A and B are shown apart, each in its own frame.
Chain A
Amino acid sequence: MKDSFFRSMTWLHTWTGLLVCWLLFLIFFAGTLSFFRHEITFWSQPAVHDVAPQDNRVLAQQGQISAALQHLEANAVEADTWWVGLPSERNHVIEVSYKDKGKEGERGQWHDQYMDPNTEETLGEYRDSHGGLFFYRLHFDLHYMDRTVARWLVSFASLFMLIGLISGVVIHKRIFKDMFQFRKGKGVRTWLDAHNLSSVLALPFHIMITYTGLVTLIFMLFPYPAMTQYDEGKKAFFADLSPSRQHADITGRTVEMLPMKQLVDQFYTDWPHVDIKRVIVDHPSDETARLKFYANTGTKIQDEMPVWVYNTVNGELIMTENTDFSASETLYDSMIALHTGRLSLPGLRWLFFVCGIAGCVMIGSGAVMWAKRIRERMKADQTASFGLRLVEGLNLATIMGLPVATAAFFFANRLLPDSYTGRAEAEIHLFFLGWLGVALMALYKAGTAQWRQLAQLNAVLWLALPICNALTTEGNLVSYIFKEQWVLAGFDILCLLTAAVFYIQSRKLASKQAAKPAVNKALKGQAV
């Protein structure tokens, strides 16, 4: 019984893992990069690199909000929404955006600009780029497909991952005994050790991130309680859960709004010392216009920001939300906060990142190990089956292709001209074109030589990225260090580290390739 239980658990672990490992790798990879979403966006916008952070950030907010809203009042009267993002610990500039009223049945277009918080003047040359937002959306919406379908796919993959994790813990009998074990240079055993080590060292993270990942989409996966409780189903449930997010339709009847400065001053009289993260005005100048202040939650394990909603005509406070949670709301919201990691200061953010990389290693090593095991069991004269070649091709395409694609995305950000129409989309197309190129090569042949070539390509690309950055912007690694711009310096250092890792990989693969003919010769010699 015991034997068959372990055998069936091993079977479950192998097949649930193998079936979705490539999609999971993409989800983990994009999710891991998303922990640095704002930092990537910051890197993507060279115009804001030299804006100095403020010492009295919270104290300066009142004036900044007024200035930003007055700027929008002057420049975007006809807009559907005004959006102001205040400087935070991770973002030094004021983001000033507005959304057009879309044509009938269409969503309006967003227009973004940055303001210098020190001078309250708009910064030119906003670069049309999604930056870190691309990886964030890729993590759960994938791309080139319907969002709902993508989210269902991601949810299935996550569910399989959770099953893989639990069955993995069951079949890994020596979880504490072999905790630190990594035997190098022992073929499949080394891959197994890498798989076990990367799983066990961040096991709490892996379980947390997978489980809370499913929780983020729980209302899509399990809408039945809401559908039973509310006559109008999920829509009514969300309206009840989060009234501040409900948008009344524009009536078209224009009203005279109170001056924005007066409304902001009134908020600060009522709620002084609040650290504000975002201010939104829905439907400015329409009779349904609402002014919303969102507070920064800082390091609290809370994802939903407290919000204050004001009537812009008479300055009346209509509602406050997310200031007092029920037990179930706290549980749900804290899980989302854990998953998104928005609460993290740089130290914890890096720990999240390292654990995310461990997740990628876990998935990648598991997939490689499956193919290696099958190859090892094959007889000398046996040819590889279609399934094995497919798995090997997909492994190479995913594990080595995603870094190539990511580098292509970053190069596109630096090299595409600012005036290029549809620039942001073009960056994304280049990401997928880069990946497609590697995938075609990998599916044609996926031997040691191809792994080595792609490792070399990655090493060259990631080494060239800081150089390209230095040539196309006004800063470089040395100036970043002297000016203490640690985010930009960190980006360059991480590129160089990635290049170094791929270089080491290519060297190891070269020595492995060189060893192979020698072994074959020796074997032939013995046979003679």
Chain B
Amino acid sequence: MIQLLAFLFCFTSFTGFALAKSSHYKSVFGVRVDAKLSRHIRIVSWVCLLASALMSMWHQFGYGSILLCGYMAVSVMCLALLLSYMPAKLRSLIYLLPGLLVITAVLALL
């Protein structure tokens, strides 16, 4: 479960990195992102990425770091496809992500 949480944090992080870019933000929300919001999104994204790195390396440093590279690859692939083909679905997913993170975190702690 901790690995699922690590992946979700990684995906959230890269979603943030994508949304911090004006063109992608516009394709998802229909408006341009302002500089302040973009900066905040980027900070949150870095925190999520750090959290993902810590979680994936929790048990084994080496194995976890390879996993993290894989999570990043899959996150970027999913995001690029969602942004191109289903930006509206991505918007729904963004609203769902915090909830998903909380549920997975609770399940991981249990």
Known: A205-B69, A299-B60. Contact between A354 and B74, CB under 8 A? Answer: yes
A179 in contact (CB, < 8 A): yes
Could you say which residues of chain A place their CB within 8 Å of the CB of B77? 197, 201, 354, 358
Distance of A182 from chain B, by nearest CB (Å): 4
Could you say which residues of chain A place their CB within 8 Å of the CB of B60? 299
Mostly, the A contact residues are: helix
Known: A180-B24, A182-B84, A184-B84. Contact between A354 and B79, CB under 8 A? Answer: no
B76 in contact (CB, < 8 A): yes
Mostly, the B contact residues are: helix
B1 in contact (CB, < 8 A): no
A351 in contact (CB, < 8 A): yes
B73→A205 contact, CB < 8 A: yes
B3 in contact (CB, < 8 A): yes
Question: In chain A, what residue has the closest Cβ to B63?
Answer: A299
Could you say which residues of chain B place their CB within 8 Å of the CB of A300? 62
Could you say which residues of chain A place their CB within 8 Å of the CB of B17? 179-180
Interface centre among A177, A202, A338, by most B CB within 10 Å? A202
Question: In chain A, what residue has the closest Cβ to B7?
Answer: A347
Alpha-carbon distance A300/B70, docked complex (angstroms): 17
B100 in contact (CB, < 8 A): no
Could you say which residues of chain B place their CB within 8 Å of the CB of A38? none
Interface string of A277-302 (1 = CB under 8 A from B): 00000000000000000000001110
B73→A348 contact, CB < 8 A: no
B interface residues, how many (CB within 8 angstroms): 25
Question: In chain A, what residue has the closest Cβ to B85?
Answer: A184
B80→A351 contact, CB < 8 A: no
Alpha-carbon distance A338/B69, docked complex (angstroms): 12
Known: A180-B18, A182-B84, A184-B84. Contact between A354 and B73, CB under 8 A? Answer: yes
Distance of A370 from chain B, by nearest CB (Å): 22
Distance of A152 from chain B, by nearest CB (Å): 29
Known: A348-B63, A354-B74. Contact between A204 and B81, CB under 8 A? Answer: no
A343 in contact (CB, < 8 A): yes
Total A-B contacts with CB atoms under 8 angstroms apart: 68
Of residues 46 through 85 on chain B, the ones whose CB sits less than 8 Å from some CB of chain A are: 60, 62-63, 66-67, 69-74, 76-77, 79-81, 83-85
Could you say which residues of chain B place their CB within 8 Å of the CB of A273? none
Known: A180-B79, A181-B80. Contact between A202 and B3, CB under 8 A? Answer: no
B80→A197 contact, CB < 8 A: yes
Known: A180-B18, A299-B60. Contact between A355 and B80, CB under 8 A? Answer: no
Distance of B29 from chain A, by nearest CB (Å): 15
Of residues 14 through 30 on chain B, the ones whose CB sits less than 8 Å from some CB of chain A are: 14, 17-18, 21, 24
The one of B18, B24, B73 that contacts A201, using a Cβ cutoff of 8 Å: B73
A348→B67 contact, CB < 8 A: yes
Known: A177-B21, A301-B63, A347-B3. Contact between A182 and B81, CB under 8 A? Answer: yes
A351→B24 contact, CB < 8 A: no
Interface string of A341-359 (1 = CB under 8 A from B): 0010001100110110010
Could you say which residues of chain A place their CB within 8 Å of the CB of B74? 351, 354
Distance of B1 from chain A, by nearest CB (Å): 12
Of residues 344 through 384 on chain A, the ones whose CB sits less than 8 Å from some CB of chain B are: 347-348, 351-352, 354-355, 358
Question: Would you list 9 pairs from A and B whose C-beta atoms are within 8 A, ordered by A residue?
Answer: A180-B18, A181-B80, A201-B77, A204-B72, A205-B73, A299-B63, A354-B73, A355-B70, A355-B73
B residues in contact (CB < 8 Å) with A: 3, 14, 17-18, 21, 24, 60, 62-63, 66-67, 69-74, 76-77, 79-81, 83-85
**20 new A-B pairs (CB below 8 Å) besides A204-B72, A299-B63?**
A179-B76, A180-B79, A180-B80, A181-B80, A182-B83, A184-B84, A197-B76, A197-B80, A201-B77, A208-B69, A301-B66, A347-B67, A348-B66, A348-B67, A351-B70, A351-B74, A354-B74, A355-B70, A355-B73, A358-B77
